[in-house]
């Protein structure tokens, strides 16, 4: 076989392997730094196998050059290929912005698709389960409401695979301070009716805690503070707009594979509660 062709082939394999390695590392850095979600899952395995394959190609090309001892032959055509090499260099550099645009575009389309899917799930949830919806939005802090809401939400979670969990956010106050409470499918321990520290005080004001006895006779306390909804500034502004300004705005949040949809439930022109649908897609990460 012609040694010149062998040298040319090994050089091409080596250069292509290096370029592929640089592209893949560039793409991986973008994905990790900006939290881009293009691949659905197993990105760690894909990255590891790809790197292994590229390194194997590079090692094979290098060994072929060493074994054939064709370094001098490769250098002879260096001057001839300078002009062509510049063209290839420009073409390779052009791939970087194209690759970045592809990754950011794929991340955007993934988020938009997930948003539409969660909106449709929220609409089905309200339309197909009117009794459960009415029950969880008829808020009154107390053991019966918490237990019934947990049971209804658990049922809704199991019937739709588009989201991992659903909670309901309602406005309230603790010690006169306006707050937002978040109730999920976690059911309190079995117990009897609330005891003397009832949900409603003598003056008719709703208390910030209720006490009840479990089936074993142990006294348990449920506090509003245990159900506080923790939110950042933007989310608090959104909830204020929905509950106080009676807005019907839908909010969608996408962050590093975690997706949240806030869907207001309105009745007679008033926002009674906000359904919060959450989903997490495992895309993998280095070291996972």
Q: What beta strand segments (E) does 124-269 contain?
A: 165-174, 177-183, 191-194, 209-214, 219-223, 251-255, 258-267
Asked if 45 and 288 touch (Cβ cutoff 8 Å), the reply is no
pLDDT: which is higher, 134 or 288: 134
| Tens-place pLDDT, residues 105-128 | 877 888 888 999 999 999 999 999
pLDDT the model gives residue 118: 94
Residues forming beta bridges with residue 270, ordered by sequence position:
267
pLDDT bin (cut points 50, 70, 90) of residue 278 is very high
Sequence-distant (≥ 6) Cβ neighbours of residue 152 within 8 angstroms: 129, 132, 135, 136
Q: What average pLDDT does range 39-64 have in this prediction?
A: 65
Whether the Cβ atoms of residue 236 and residue 225 lie closer than 8 Å to each other: no
Distance CA 197, CA 212 (A): 8
Region 278-284 average pLDDT = 70
Reported pTM:
0.69
Rounded distance, CA 212 to CA 248, Å?
37
Residues contacting 183, CB < 8 A, separation 6+: 136, 146, 149, 150, 153, 167, 168, 170, 227
Q: Where are the domains of the chain?
A: 3-80, 117-190+224-280
CB contact burial 85-111 (16+ within 10 A = b; e otherwise): eeeeeeeeeeeeeeeeeebeeebeebb
The per-residue pLDDT for range 193-215, each reduced to its tens digit, is: 444 344 443 333 456 888 877 77
Provide the CATH number for the domain formed by 117-190+224-280 in this structure: 3.30.450
Residue ranges in 129-168 assigned as alpha helix (H): 130-137, 143-159
Q: What is the pLDDT of residue 198?
A: 42
């Amino acid at each position: 076989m012609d040694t010149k062709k062998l040298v040319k082939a090994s050089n091409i394999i080596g250069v292509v392997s290096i370029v592929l390695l640089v592209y893949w590392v560039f793409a991986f850095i973008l994905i990790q730094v900006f939290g881009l979600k293009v691949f659905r899952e197993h990105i760690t395995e894909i990255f590891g196998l790809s790197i292994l394959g590229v390194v194997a190609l590079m090692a094979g090309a290098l060994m072929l050059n060493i074994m054939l001892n064709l370094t001098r032959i490769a250098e002879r055509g260096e001057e001839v290929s300078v002009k062509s090499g510049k063209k290839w260099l420009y073409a390779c550099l052009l791939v970087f912005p194209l690759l970045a645009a592809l990754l950011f575009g794929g991340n955007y389309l993934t988020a938009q698709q997930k948003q539409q899917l969660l909106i449709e799930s929220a609409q089905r949830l309200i339309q197909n389960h009117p009794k459960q919806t009415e029950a969880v939005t008829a808020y009154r802090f107390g053991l019966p409401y918490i237990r019934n809401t947990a049971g209804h939400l658990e049922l809704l979670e199991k019937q739709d695979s588009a989201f991992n969990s659903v909670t309901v956010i309602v406005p309230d106050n603790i010690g006169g301070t306006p707050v937002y409470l978040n109730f999920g499918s976690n059911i309190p321990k079995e117990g009897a009716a609330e005891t003397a520290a009832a949900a409603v005080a003598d003056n008719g004001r709703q208390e910030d805690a209720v006490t009840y006895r479990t089936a074993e006779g142990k006294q348990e306390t449920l506090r509003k503070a245990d159900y506080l909804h923790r939110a950042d500034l933007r989310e608090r502004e959104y909830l204020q707009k929905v509950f106080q300004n009676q807005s019907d705005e839908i909010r969608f949040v996408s962050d590093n594979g975690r997706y949240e949809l806030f869907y207001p439930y309105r009745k007679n022109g008033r926002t009674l509660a906000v359904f919060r649908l959450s989903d997490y897609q495992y895309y993998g990460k280095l070291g996972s």
